Amino acid sequence: VALRAAGVHHVVLVGPVPHWIGSLPQQLFNYIRKHRTDPVPTRMNQGLSPEAFRIDKLMAAMGRRLGVEYISPCAILGNQEGFLVRTGDTADSLIVYDSSHLTVSGSKYLVSRFPYF
């Protein structure tokens, strides 16, 4: 409301990214420890906290209620195979460096999939 009163006509609300219990590197370590002969996954569901998905739904509803556009990083990063954990084959290609803070690689990947870029 305050933004519209200030003359801002197009407001975009961006939701949370998936949240990993502990950290994404820890979850990948756990996966590799259990699946020693498998390649490092590109997508995973193991080790995700449900909290970000709960918040995502609440924020989407808030966006509808306020009449603003909502972008869901959870929807962008996830598909039927799981949630993206890396964009390449090197350590600097991880999407997040802890539980939910995007790396440079993760930020570039996510924002490049926003409808405006």
| Integer CA distances (angstroms), 44 to 27, 63, 79, 103, in order | 9, 28, 10, 17
The C-alpha angle with vertex 112 and arms to 24 and 73, in degrees rounded to 5, equals 45
What does the pLDDT look like over 70-116, one tens digit per residue? 999 999 999 999 999 999 998 889 999 999 999 999 999 999 999 87
The C-alpha angle with vertex 108 and arms to 107 and 113, in degrees rounded to 5, equals 100
What does the pLDDT look like over 7-46, one tens digit per residue? 998 899 999 999 999 999 999 999 999 999 999 999 999 9
pTM recorded for the entire structure? 0.89
- Distance between the two ends of the chain, CA-based, in angstroms? 26
Residue 17: CA count within 13 A, CB half-sphere: 22
